[in-house]
């Protein structure tokens, strides 16, 4: 998965334009008021400490054929049990019962996939229908007036054997999550994309995500 020269050039413009900043960090205009900025919406998932809140989670995994209900061990991701050691559930919105809609984070290695995945389902006509799929890790949820949280998903990209991460924003639109832009590029050091570049950078990074099949 290699990045195109055009994005390298754009990155160069973005980063060098802020070379006078002492910490060499790209800045972006604040999205929230000072009061809202105090709220920590970040998400960190340690699957070894994860737990299910009811039997519904395991039942949903069986319905989706993502696990083996007869598996007795929780240490084989290639043959996963229906366990919180491999899966973490998030509500789709504040009003929908979990059995009828949810976001599902899956541990790296489960069923042969090398990185974390995020799947979003909603029940339609009695069946669970996949709305979105992401080959990335959910790192933040932001409350919205619609009841559907904005999502920040972190995607890896292998550029010349060096891993770069893109923290990208998705917003609920027309019955599914829609790509908005990428706010942070992390090449060992997380850098926020400056406001005047966020749209153009977002277009280029979306091309990378599509080319690498990170959205499905």
Read off φ and ψ for residue 143, nearest 5 degrees: -65, 140
Are 112 and 182 within one domain? Answer: no
Task: Identify whether residues 37 and 86 lie together within a single domain.
Answer: no
- The alpha carbon of 135 is separated from its chain's Cα centroid by a whole number of angstroms, namely 8
Matching residue, tokens 């976001």: 103
Q: Are residues 53 and 137 in the same domain?
A: yes
**pLDDT tens per residue, range 135-194:** 999 999 999 999 999 999 999 999 889 999 999 999 999 999 999 999 999 999 999 999
Q: Which of 156, 202, 211 is nearest to 179 (CA)?
A: 202
Residue 47 shares a structural domain with residue 138: yes
Q: Cα–Cα distance between 126 and 161 in angstroms, integer?
A: 45
In this predicted model, what pLDDT tens digit does every residue of 108-128 receive, in sequence order?
999 999 999 999 999 999 999
Q: Using only the alpha carbons of the chain, give its radius of gyration.
A: 19
Under 8 Å between Cβ of 102 and 121: yes
Q: Which range of residues forms the domain containing residue 64?
A: 43-142
DSSP 8-state secondary structure symbol assigned to residue 194: P
pTM of this prediction? Answer: 0.83
- Residue 204 CB contacts under 8 Å (≥ 6 apart), including other chains: 4, 6, 7, 10
């Amino acid at each position: 998965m290699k990045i195109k020269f055009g994005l390298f050039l754009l990155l160069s413009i973005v980063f060098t334009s802020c070379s006078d900043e002492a910490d060499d960090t790209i800045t972006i205009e604040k999205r929230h008021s000072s009061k809202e900025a105090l709220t920590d919406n970040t998400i960190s998932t340690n699957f070894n400490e994860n737990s299910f809140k009811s039997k519904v989670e395991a039942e949903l995994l069986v319905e989706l054929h993502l696990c083996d209900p007869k598996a007795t061990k929780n240490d084989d991701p290639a043959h996963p049990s229906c366990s919180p050691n491999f899966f973490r559930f998030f509500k789709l919105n504040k009003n929908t019962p979990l059995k009828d809609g949810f976001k599902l984070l899956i541990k790296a290695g489960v069923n042969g996939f090398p990185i974390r995945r995020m799947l979003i389902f909603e029940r339609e006509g009695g069946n669970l229908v996949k709305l979105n799929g992401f080959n990335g890790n959910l790192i933040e949820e932001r409350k919205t007036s619609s009841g559907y949280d904005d999502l920040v998903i972190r995607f890896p990209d292998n550029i010349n054997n060096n891993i770069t991460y893109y923290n990208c924003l998705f917003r609920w639109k027309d019955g599914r999550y829609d790509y908005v832009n990428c706010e942070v590029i992390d090449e060992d050091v997380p850098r926020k994309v400056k406001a005047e570049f966020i749209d153009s950078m977002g277009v280029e990074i979306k091309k990378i995500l599509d080319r690498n099949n990170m959205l499905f």
